[in-house]
A and B are shown apart, each in its own frame.
Chain A
Amino acid sequence: MNWKKVFAVIRREYLERVRTKAFWIATFLVPAFFLGYMAVQFASIRKTSGERKVAVVDLTGHLAQPLASELAEREEARRQKTPGSRGIHWILEPWPVAGDLDRTKDLLRKEVLDKKLYGYLVLDPTLLEKDRAEYYSISVSEFVALEQMERAINAVLLREKIRQQGLSAALGKELEKRVDLKTLKVTSKGATEEKGGGIIAAIVFLAIMYMTFFMYGFQNLRGVIEEKTNRIVELVIASVRPTELMLGKIIGIGLVGLTQYLVWSLVAMNLSLPAIAGMMAMGEAGAPTIPVSTIGYFLLFFILGYFLYASIYTAIGAPFNTDQEAQQLAMIPSMLIVSGMAVYPAVMNNPNGGVAVFASLFPFTAPLMMFLRTAVAEPPVWQIGLSILILLLSTAGLAWLAGRIYRVGILMYGKKPTIPEILRWVRYRPGKALQPAAPTAS
């Protein structure tokens, strides 16, 4: 291995790709898209505000008033907790029953359709017996608003029941309290509080890894085919060994991917972090604290997985002359990458279960799933070690295989080779005369 030459190939692959407009467009479009997505989310949460004028048809006769004050109290509490925040302002309007209930409902329906009312609530004792109340509105998917209303009704009903049983109001207050479940991740070093930020970070890393295997793995395939169609490869092979060229390409393209992450992290730190922090503050999750071990495992499994898949893609590109010809076989690595994500829910729910152990040892799903396990649980050290060992061996084996196919394939033009032919290239050794087809030129 002549590293000077490998370096020259890496340099070319890297610079030529990083210099393209396409690279920078992709690099900035993804964060822009992500930020845009977050902005939309943010805006839609803020939009759940303003006045909600709701008619209350209270057939019990004594619930409408407590409900109105309950909602007002909750609104006040929220305003004190986060001053300046805009939320929903409920205006409850008691509505007498005119004639029978159906007639009243008809009337209210018209009021709602005429936009005079936002909606109406029916508190019917017969239904309340069955723990039901009815809320009619043009919009029934406003989850934030609906939840507020539901909680308020429950609280009022609870208090009402306690009063009927002749128990103290203080007990009512006690019963309303809910337990906040604090989650702590148990590790060998003790227990640390898991606010969800670490898991979110792990999932982001997982998504990045998944995407890279696809995008940059496929870039290897395209690069190999491009060199063939441009008829440049023979000129290069006269100076560089095929294995050196292959290695240089894989590393160069991988570095392009890493550059993209670097840009993304810089963008994230400068732009989106305040936005994320803002969202976190609104929600219950804490700011993401990413453990060093997660970053370490990410880099390790990213590199191993990338080399594994890049080798496969290279081997698949080498025998063919166009992307189309290679498409069919390119399905294989794609399916393998997807299969890693397919078992994701199972691994997430039971990070030390049978499926998780298998998926983190099977070389094609191992990079994604072993990384996930290290992030959400603490797998046994021997499993991590075994997974890395299996990955290393498979990567070495596949790289060797790819090298053999590559060596013969890059000089083959013309007819699309069949799979048995390609397999014969792997076994081919000079002196054995197993090479199947003559090159087109002689």
Chain B
Amino acid sequence: MTAAIELENVSKIFGKFPAVDSLSFRVPRGVVFGLLGPNGAGKTTTIRMIMNITAADSGEIRVLGNPMTRETQNRIGYLPEERGLYRKMKVLDHLLFLAAIKEVSREDARRRIGDWVEKLELKPWLKKKVDELSKGMQQKVQFIATVVHDPEILILDEPFSGLDPINTAIIKEYLSDFRQRGKTIVFSTHVLEQAEKLCDEICLLARSKKILEGNLRDLKRRFSKDMLHLAVDAEPSEIASLPGVATSQPVNGGYLVVLAPGMDQREFLRRTLERHPLRGFSAREPELEEIYLDAVKAAGMEETRTIE
């Protein structure tokens, strides 16, 4: 089966400033894919190019196996970062309009809108004007607008920005629901903790370039540097002087120890036990943020401030 989305050497230049620089990545079907990076890394431009809102200067973008067509556009649910609603429209009319421009028949649209407002507790507001809704409720309406045509792919640009905790929880729940039903979800965020919990696959961007891509679990394994957490009572100098320790730092109730290259984990623990009684130990996976910082360092792009 073809990938949900594929980018090949896609570039976009605004004036002299490259917003996206020969970017390639692949989003397999049925995964949650995170497009990550700090503000200004090129995430929104990339998403807009996938959506065919902005045209790429060079490179190729394929959605569901082909360059974006009108027909594929109707199979995508898009939540832009800059999102709003027609303020004077009634909620139901608004959702019917957004469904109509996705070529959903009026009956289908009515039925689906009915289901969604039931789920999201918006039913009493259907006949109200968007103006009269709280911000949180407007966000729910925007979410329904994104999914009302039952899309195969969801593309969400910073979906959680500006969301209150309750709506964040609701949206996360429905996203995992979508994934269960085999849909593909692509979302961008600059908050790495969110991505860590939700994503199967990620693509890290920094300064318009891709610096890392792949399955999150594989990446964690690749970037784990034999890190151990030791619950032990000892002086920092005693831990640092243990054989095979590259670096160590005190953390809550113990130390976080990175082993020197080539040091065997079991051998290290045996030697440590000879000197200090351990209350416990655990292997620790790197957090996404650490992976990100390492990758940035490896790419020689520590200075994330752009020179303009």
> Measuring CB to CB, which residues of chain A are less than 8 angstroms from any residue of chain B?
2, 4-5, 8-9, 11-12, 15-16, 20, 227, 230-232, 234-240, 411, 413, 430-433, 435-439, 441-442
**Given the complex, which residues of A lie within 8 Å of B17, measured CB to CB?**
438
B interface residues, tally (CB under 8 Å): 45
For this complex, 12 residue pairs linking A to B, each with C-beta atoms less than 8 Å apart, are A4-B100, A8-B100, A11-B97, A231-B84, A238-B53, A238-B73, A238-B80, A239-B101, A411-B53, A431-B55, A431-B58, A439-B44
B interface SS class: loop
Asked if A232 and B101 sit within 8 Å, CB to CB, the answer is no
**Given the complex, which residues of B lie within 8 Å of A436, measured CB to CB?**
14-15
Which one of A8, A230, A238, A439 lies within 8 Å of B85 (CB-CB)?
A230
**Given the complex, which residues of B lie within 8 Å of A11, measured CB to CB?**
97, 100
Docked Cα-Cα span, A20 to B89, in Å, equals 10
Docked Cα-Cα span, A442 to B89, in Å, equals 29
Docked Cα-Cα span, A2 to B102, in Å, equals 11
**Given the complex, which residues of B lie within 8 Å of A441, measured CB to CB?**
44, 81-82
Asked if A8 and B101 sit within 8 Å, CB to CB, the answer is yes
B103 interface residue per 8 A CB criterion: yes
Residue of A nearest to B79 (CB): A235
Docked Cα-Cα span, A2 to B82, in Å, equals 25
B76 interface residue per 8 A CB criterion: yes
**Given the complex, which residues of A lie within 8 Å of B102, measured CB to CB?**
239
Asked if A235 and B19 sit within 8 Å, CB to CB, the answer is no
Asked if A5 and B58 sit within 8 Å, CB to CB, the answer is no
B184 interface residue per 8 A CB criterion: no
Residue of B nearest to A436 (CB): B15
B189 interface residue per 8 A CB criterion: no
Known contacts A240-B101, A430-B55; decide if A16 and B19 are in contact (CB<8 Å).
no
**Given the complex, which residues of B lie within 8 Å of A413, measured CB to CB?**
82
Asked if A442 and B73 sit within 8 Å, CB to CB, the answer is no
Which one of A8, A227, A442 lies within 8 Å of B40 (CB-CB)?
A442
Docked Cα-Cα span, A231 to B130, in Å, equals 13
Docked Cα-Cα span, A16 to B129, in Å, equals 12
**Given the complex, which residues of B lie within 8 Å of A435, measured CB to CB?**
14-15
Docked Cα-Cα span, A331 to B220, in Å, equals 61
Taking the closest CB of chain A, its distance from the CB of B241, in whole angstroms, is: 48
Q: Digit string of B205-247 for contact with A (CB within 8 Å is 1, else 0)?
A: 0000000000000000000000000000000000000000000
Residue of B nearest to A239 (CB): B101
Docked Cα-Cα span, A235 to B144, in Å, equals 12
Taking the closest CB of chain A, its distance from the CB of B221, in whole angstroms, is: 31
Residue of B nearest to A227 (CB): B86
Asked if A235 and B14 sit within 8 Å, CB to CB, the answer is no
Known contacts A433-B57, A442-B40, A442-B44; decide if A235 and B88 are in contact (CB<8 Å).
no
B45 interface residue per 8 A CB criterion: yes
Residue of B nearest to A438 (CB): B14
Which one of B57, B76, B78, B83 lies within 8 Å of A430 (CB-CB)?
B57
Docked Cα-Cα span, A176 to B293, in Å, equals 108
Taking the closest CB of chain A, its distance from the CB of B165, in whole angstroms, is: 23
Docked Cα-Cα span, A79 to B86, in Å, equals 64
Asked if B82 and A234 sit within 8 Å, CB to CB, the answer is yes
Known contacts A238-B76, A411-B54, A439-B44; decide if A12 and B14 are in contact (CB<8 Å).
no
